[in-house]
Amino acid sequence: MPKATLSRHMTGKNKIARVDTKFHGHVCALPEDVEAELVQHCLTLESMYFGMRVDDLRRLAFDIAEANQLEHGFNRESRMAGKKWYYAFMKRHPELSLRTPKATSMARAQGFNKERVQSFFQLLDKVYDEERLTPDRLFNMDETSLSTAQDGQTKIIAAKGKKRIGTMVSAERGESVTGVVCMSAAGFFIPPMLVFKRKRMKAEMTQCAPPGTVFSTQEKGWMSNEGFLEWLKHFIYVVKPTKEAKVVLILDGHATHVKNLAAIELARESGVRMISLPPHTTHKLQPLDFAFFSPVGTYYDEAMRKWIRSHVGRCVTTWQVSELFEEAYGRAAGVSVAVNGFKATGLWPLDVNVFSEADFAAACFTDIPPSNDAPSTAADPETSSSVMTSSSNQATGNTSSEAASVNETLQTVEPEPEADRQSSSVTSTAAAVPEASSSSSDTAFSSSVSPSTFYKTSRVHVKTISPLPVIELQEKKRRRKTQSTQAADVTSTPYKKKLESTPANRKRLTARKLLVDDLPAKAKRMTARVEAAHKTPQRKKKVKKGILKKQQSCKDASASCPCKVCGRIYGSTDDPRLTEDWFRCSGCHLWFHDTCAQLNGVFDDSEDENFTCAHCL
């Protein structure tokens, strides 16, 4: 044994190896208790949606070593730890892994808080008990966008060292088609609906679509009030609910869903109970977002790449969307996908404990406490803005108790020195932050090694070097007073009455009532106008006189006869063409809407009121 080694053992100058302690290999740059604290810091930042990158971790390791005056071999020029240290650190702590995060907006981080989720589950519990719900009567509906250009690209095999690798796509910016999907908790899928951006539908665009698909057109290709009403009729036709055995339809709070009076009235009459999700929570509470749309998007891109490769020189357009969607929908729509989606979100079986404290951590750090004059938290369908008033309890009475309990937990994890107590404001904002491990970082350090052998001065903790993010309270700006939107039973009577009391709906209902009251007088005016037109001299053949006499004998038929094309009774309140004029055929004396007459007959060039249907031509 070398004399120097024996001398270090005798004088106790070894840092780790002692008489009763053996150590082999290189010494870690950071002690075990510091690494345990660093692991906890990484997990806490990740739960707050402020996760650390590899370079951030390496820089923080260097700063920790420098602040505590530890001997290390890190690069002082780049001021970060080496890659070998990073790989060894990840190997020593298998609870950590390098993951690709999903972009989450600030509104989603604020919206998914514990109080709002609990109130939503309480509403579901009440509805489930009232309806004695079974999984085959619980549905979730949502829309997705189907683009004619691939969203993402997968890795391909290419020559090593080549700088730029390309792949063929249809266009840089493609057109979008809206797909409406609905599934039940028992694994049953309703035939989808496709909404195209056009005015008239072509039969060629419906070919090779999933069986039972319904099609619609819209000027912008988005979901509208009329489009949702059309889909709801399709849903009722397939499911066939009754008022004795109602079905529950869970959907997001889009205006076409929760502010559509016609759809709400149809759902109430047909036995459909619509429940809206809390705003900005669909990424974790909606089964379709959680389990279905991601795989169907992947399969749709694969089908598009396959089509482009087999049709060289052609671009994917909206004419091929039905065919591509059929392949993707057939692969993604499965019983296990639907069942697991409802189970993972806690909707069936109903489980509020499916979310841990880590899922709500981001809301604790991004939520701004509302002022004392904040508006009421009652659900108001008039406004669609999301104001975080559901966490007002946390900002007043509950904050102190929760922060105190969390501070006690943090103090048990690691004792703070006097220098770190000045940053207590940072710690107080860490309400409801989950702990990655129940064991404290100080106890993780070997009891046989004294920390004084590592730290030349008092220890500087990780959160002092890299403090947790604290929200900055900005100056109060004057904003339009709005009330928060929450999860609601859209088909309930109080919600419907409140929706009808909004100024826009009140004006619409008043106009409809006046229009219905004026229908008899309008029918008389229309009949008189038609008679006056036929009494004018005609420049046609003499046979026209006989036709005119027949028309005059049917002057009062418009008040009771239906339209020959669409079958709507004149004056019916559910007629979408209620405000249009009616025309009577000069041959068969049947009545037509103005739009139906334009598409199914011709008008006399000399007099527009003289109409002949296509059957009588």
344-376 pLDDT, tens per residue? 999 999 998 999 888 888 887 655 444 343 333
Instruction: Please list the residues that pair with 584 across neighbouring strands.
Output: 591
Mean pLDDT over 145-165 rounds to 86
**Distance from the Cα of residue 154 to its chain's centroid:** 25
- Angle between helix 54-67 and 83-92 (nearest 10): 90
pLDDT at 440 over 60: no
DSSP 451: G
pLDDT per residue over 165-200, tens digit each? 888 888 888 899 999 999 999 999 999 999 999 988
pLDDT at 433 over 50: no
pLDDT per residue over 245-285, tens digit each? 999 999 999 999 999 999 999 999 999 999 999 999 999 99
At 369 the pLDDT is 45
DSSP 557: G
At 74 the pLDDT is 94
Contact between 317 and 197 under an 8 Å Cβ cutoff? The reply is no
Q: In what helix (H) or strand (E) does residue 3 lie, and over which residues does it extend?
A: helix 3-11
pLDDT at 289 over 80: yes
Structure-block tokens of residue 515 = 């229009």
At 331 the pLDDT is 96
CB contact set of 515 (below 8 Å; sequence gap of 6+): 578, 579
Q: Cα separation of 568 and 9, whole Å?
A: 102
pLDDT at 380 over 50: no
At 325 the pLDDT is 97
Structure-block tokens of residue 58 = 């390496």
Cis, bond preceding 467 (omega within 30 deg of 0): no
At 357 the pLDDT is 87
Q: Which CATH number fits domain 134-152+171-348: 3.30.420.10, 3.40.630.10, 3.40.50.300, 3.20.20.370?
A: 3.30.420.10
pLDDT at 212 over 70: yes
What's the CA angle centered on 125, arms 120 and 126, to 5 degrees?
100
pLDDT per residue over 557-614, tens digit each? 444 678 888 887 777 767 777 777 788 888 888 888 887 887 777 776 554 457 788 7
Q: How many CA atoms lie within 13 A of 157 on its CB side?
A: 0
Q: What is the mean pLDDT of the chain?
A: 77
Higher pLDDT, 244 or 557: 244
**pLDDT level of residue 549 (50, 70, 90 thresholds):** very low
pLDDT at 391 over 60: no
Question: Phi then psi for 139, rounded to 5 degrees?
Answer: -125, 155
Sequence letter at residue 192: P
pLDDT at 151 over 60: yes
Higher pLDDT, 1 or 547: 1
What secondary structure does DSSP assign to 129-174, as a single string? HHHT--GGGEEEEEEEEEESS-S--------TT-S------S-SS-
CB contact set of 357 (below 8 Å; sequence gap of 6+): 432, 433, 434
Structure-block tokens of residue 209 = 């679509």
pLDDT at 227 over 50: yes
Contact between 336 and 187 under an 8 Å Cβ cutoff? The reply is yes
At 438 the pLDDT is 35
Q: What percent of the chain has pLDDT over 70?
A: 70
At 192 the pLDDT is 97
Helix and strand element counts for the chain (H, E): 25, 11
pLDDT per residue over 35-65, tens digit each? 999 999 999 999 888 999 999 999 999 999 9
Q: What is the pTM of this model?
A: 0.66
At 542 the pLDDT is 42
pLDDT per residue over 310-326, tens digit each? 999 899 999 999 999 99
pLDDT per residue over 475-512, tens digit each? 555 555 545 467 889 999 899 888 888 877 776 666 65
Nearest CA to 116 among 488, 495, 493, 489?
Answer: 488
At 332 the pLDDT is 96
pLDDT per residue over 87-126, tens digit each? 999 999 999 999 989 888 888 888 898 999 999 999 999 9
Contact between 110 and 366 under an 8 Å Cβ cutoff? The reply is yes
At 518 the pLDDT is 55
**pLDDT level of residue 547 (50, 70, 90 thresholds):** very low
CB-based burial label for 226 (10 Å; 0-12, 13-18, 19+): middle
Domain ranges of the chain: 15-101+405-465, 134-152+171-348, 518-613
pLDDT at 229 over 50: yes
At 565 the pLDDT is 81
